[in-house]
Structure 1
């Protein structure tokens, strides 16, 4: 099971390690130190599913942080959404086509860096001191047009979150699977045979997935190729994405992301000034020990090397969040960062706060039985290598 799954399983090797060595008083002190001190903005609308909308808002906030703070050093081709191989598909070709279609839209949005920079500029009809400028009818029309263009750009960019969620879960949101399946069933290309027994509520509900059925092909690949040539299935995929985006909140979802963009912009010019993106959305070499783990970013300002977990949450952090952060520290080695980590912490896009802590002090506070980070790391690795029961 992955790191996140292990942290949710009381009998896992990772939890066994923390149960054995964690100090509850020290953990409470670290939680208090690194928690958000400002109230997070609530959603300004009521989405179809608060869980799903919040999850995708989190994925997009991670991406926007990397794009804004990383600036020209950010390369979308290095992200999980564009590097991973498709590892789970129900049918032989329609899931790859869905991912390819969304990647194409997303790639075009990434390539249009000028449009993204315009989005970062915010409202164009503001005076230098931030007060509103009197708008003529023409200016108002131009302002409305830009806002429409901004939301259209965010609409296209959000395809990234669907692709990334697919590579993390192996599944597309239910609206995609329903529409694709209905299209194939109605055309006699597949027939329903069994229920998908691999569904995990904890893993899949947050990204809009539900238990799926398995299907058997009824026709040869020639018929599939004809669907592809006619772009019939691609149109179903595009319509599915439009429906899914509307279920996230549509323009209201875009407004939430504009708020996040504004916070990250301010942070980049203030508390994050001088930092560069050393590693973006990395997967430690030791991640294999927990069947998968990927952290958000590592920031470097020449003096500090900070592992950052981006938390787009409205709740306060918990013990599990600190355990996840500490696990990332232990799974990372100098092969992953090229120089030693010095700090670790959280960035909160909904409040613009950046809370981090020296990792030597962090480990000594949470895991006081160990004399050093390395000794704690070595024991953590031993636990991770234990035979699964």
Structure 2
């Protein structure tokens, strides 16, 4: 369920949160600030950051706003990322894009990303770097739902000689899928800006704590 639909629904947790804690004077101050000529807080991402970096900051913040608005909890089954796991099969996805034998299958990656999201969006404060990490995992799943593709890095990532440590009789359990997915996600976040990306998201989170 998108943030926009949550805001439109008078009975949604997010809408109830805003209704309960709305500060009329504060809202007027914010509106005045938005209408002023004062410069906005600059992004912490490097000048060389890609469009994808900014897009992921936005989608990740979407998840974190809903997470914070629901008292640091998230209904994963209703989240956009969760929708992809409840569909029958992956017919709309490009599974053949992930046929490199050194990588996980697309469906394994999706399950691994979802496990990472649920693991760290567990009630801890949104100021925790792990929460940003988990919300980014769900944001990657969002992109798959919309485009049918995971980022190219997931298809080309090489797990080096330690890959055999994750297998037993050519079989992988879900914990191992999560670990391997995490290795790729770590590298992908680095491509988005690494620590600068994490801190940029946290700087936006901080705005909600100071309002």
TM-score bin, normalised by smaller chain: 0.5 to 0.7
In the alignment, is residue 263 of structure 1 matched against residue 207 of structure 2? yes
Indicate the residue corresponding to 1:88 in structure 2: 93
Q: Which residues in structure 2 correspond to 1:243-322 (within 5 Å)?
A: 243-267=187-211
Aligned partners of 1:238 and 1:97: how far apart in 2?
12
Deviations 1:327-351 (A, max 9, x none): xxxxxxxxxxxxxxxxxxxxxxxxx
How far apart are 1:105 and its partner, in Å? 0.8
1:168 equivalent in structure 2: 146
* Equivalent residue, structure 2, for 1:58: 58
Cα distance, 1:250–1:66 mapped onto 2, change above 3 Å: same
Contact 1:48 1:247 in 2 (8 A): no
Offset of 1:229 from its aligned partner? 5.3
- Alpha-carbon distance between aligned partners in 2 of 1:256 and 1:233, rounded to the nearest angstrom: 29
Aligned to 2:79: 79
Residue equivalent to 2:109: 98
Deviation at 1:253, TM superposition (A): 1.3
Larger Cα-atom Rg: 1
Higher strand share: 1
Give, in whole Å, the separation in 2 of the partners of 1:74 and 1:234.
Answer: 20
Distance 2:137 2:188 in 1: 10
Unaligned segments of structure 1, at least 5 residues = 1-32, 120-149, 188-224, 268-389
CA contact (8 A) 1:98 1:237 kept: yes
- Structure 2 CA distance for partners of 1:76 and 1:265, relative to 1, 3 Å: farther
Structure 1 residues 265 and 77 mapped into 2: Cα distance closer, same or farther (>3 Å)? farther
Secondary structure at 2:77's aligned position in 1?
A: helix
Q: Distance in 2 between matches of 1:233 and 1:79?
A: 21
Structure-1 separation of matches of 2:66 and 2:118: 16
Determine the C-alpha separation between the residues in 2 that align with 1:260 and 1:236. Answer: 29
- Residues 112 and 174, structure 2, Cα contact 8 Å, conserved in 1: no
Which TM-score applies when normalising by structure 2?
0.62
SS of 1:116's partner is: coil
Q: Which residue of 1 aligns with 2:134?
A: 156
Q: Is the alpha carbon distance of 1:72 and 1:58 closer, same or farther for their aligned partners in structure 2, counting shifts above 3 Å?
A: closer
Instruction: Give the CA RMSD over aligned residues.
Output: 3.3
Distance 2:178 2:57 in 1: 25
How far has the Cα of 1:232 moved from its partner?
7.2
Structure 2 residue runs of 5 or longer lacking an equivalent are 1-30, 164-168
* Cα 1:227/1:89, change in 2 over 3 Å: farther
Pair 230,47 (structure 1): closer, same or farther in 2 beyond 3 Å = farther
TM norm structure 1: 0.36
Deviations 1:135-185 (A, max 9, x none): xxxxxxxxxxxxxxx323422332111111111211111111112xx67xx
Once residues 197 and 132 of structure 2 are traced to their aligned partners in structure 1, the CA distance between those partners, rounded to angstroms, is 9
The total of aligned residue pairs comes to: 159
Change in Cα spacing, 1:176 to 1:157, as seen in structure 2 (3 Å) is same
Residues 249-282 of structure 1, C-alpha deviations (whole Å, 9 max, x = no match): 2221111111111122344xxxxxxxxxxxxxxx
Contact 1:61 1:257 survives alignment (8 Å)? yes
Structure 1: distance between partners of 2:83 and 2:53: 25
